C-alpha cells in the first residue's frame, strides 16, 4: 500500500523558507527545525523529505538559484559577457557567503553532490549553447572543453568573492570575458 502523495505546496513553502534563511543569514546557522518553523510546518515534515541540511540546501538551490541568461547576441564574446554578468550577480549576492560553507559539506553527502552537479550542468547550459553557436558561425573551429571555459569565467569571480571580499567591477568582468574569449579562439588563430 503506497503512502500518501507528497504535498507539493508544503515542499514549496519549506524550500522558500530555506532560501529565505540562506539569503538573510548563513548556512551555518540554518537548521531543519528553523526551516520547519518558518514554513509553518512540523519538523518531521522537513526530516521526512531531507535527512540532512546539505540535501535540503541542494534542493533549495535547484529551486531558487537565479537563472543564467540564454541569449544569442550574434557574437561569442558578447554571449560570454552576458554569461559573466549573470555569474557576477550570483557571486556578488549576499547569500553567496552561505553557499561557500555548504560547498564544503558536499563531500559528506553523495545525494546532495548529485543534485549540485545537476544544478551546475543546468546553469552551464547557456554557455555550452553559446559555444555551439560560435562553432556554427565559424567563430571557432571546434568546441572547447566546456568545463575549462566555465572555470576560466567563474574562477575569477569566485576569487573576487572569497579572497578579495569585493564585488567585481564592470572593467574586471570585461577583462574576464575577453581573456576567456582569447583562450577559446587562440587555437583557431594558430592554424
Domain assignments of the chain as residue spans, ordered by start: 8-63, 66-189
> The C-alpha cell of 66 is what?
537565479
pTM of the model: 0.84
CATH of domain 8-63: 1.10.10.60
Q: Give the closest residue to 98 by CA, choosing from 23, 38, 8, 44.
A: 23
> The C-alpha cell of 19 is what?
532560501
Between CA 68 and CA 79, with CA 73 as vertex, the angle to 5 degrees is 45
Q: What pLDDT is attached to residue 1?
A: 41
DSSP H helices in 65-145: 76-92, 96-105, 110-123, 125-137
User: How do residues 175-191 score in pLDDT, each as one tens digit?
Assistant: 999 999 999 998 655 54
Q: What pLDDT is attached to residue 188?
A: 54
Residue 121 near residue 140, CB atoms below 8 Å = no
Per CATH, 8-63 and 66-189 having the same topology is answered no
Write the CA distances from 46 to 57, 109, 125, 180, integer angstroms: 12, 17, 31, 42
On the question of pLDDT at 40 being above 60, the answer is yes
CATH class, range 66-189: mainly alpha
* Residue 13 DSSP symbol: H
User: How do residues 107-155 score in pLDDT, each as one tens digit?
Assistant: 889 999 999 999 999 999 999 999 999 999 999 999 999 999 999 999 9
Write the CA distances from 137 to 108, 124, 141, 170, integer angstroms: 43, 20, 9, 27
Between CA 185 and CA 189, with CA 186 as vertex, the angle to 5 degrees is 90
Amino acid at each position: 500500500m503506497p503512502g500518501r502523495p507528497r504535498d507539493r505546496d508544503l515542499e514549496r513553502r519549506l524550500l522558500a523558507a530555506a532560501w529565505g534563511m540562506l539569503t538573510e543569514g548563513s548556512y551555518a546557522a540554518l537548521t531543519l527545525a528553523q526551516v520547519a518553523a518558518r514554513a509553518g510546518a512540523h519538523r518531521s515534515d522537513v526530516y521526512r523529505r531531507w535527512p540532512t541540511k546539505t540535501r535540503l540546501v541542494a534542493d533549495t538551490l535547484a529551486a531558487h538559484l537565479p537563472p543564467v541568461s540564454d541569449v544569442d547576441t550574434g557574437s561569442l564574446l558578447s554571449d560570454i559577457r552576458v554569461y559573466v554578468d549573470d555569474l557576477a550577480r550570483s557571486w556578488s549576492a549576499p547569500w553567496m557567503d552561505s553557499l561557500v560553507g555548504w560547498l564544503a559539506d558536499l563531500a559528506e553527502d553523495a545525494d546532495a553532490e548529485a543534485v549540485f552537479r545537476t544544478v551546475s550542468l543546468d546553469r552551464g547550459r547557456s554557455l555550452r549553447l553559446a559555444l555551439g553557436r560560435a562553432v556554427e558561425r565559424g567563430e571557432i573551429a571546434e568546441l572547447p572543453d566546456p568545463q575549462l571555459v566555465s572555470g576560466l569565467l567563474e574562477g575569477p569571480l569566485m576569487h573576487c568573492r572569497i579572497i578579495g571580499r569585493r564585488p567585481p567591477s564592470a572593467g574586471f568582468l570585461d577583462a574576464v570575458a575577453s581573456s576567456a574569449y582569447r583562450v577559446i579562439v587562440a587555437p583557431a588563430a594558430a592554424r
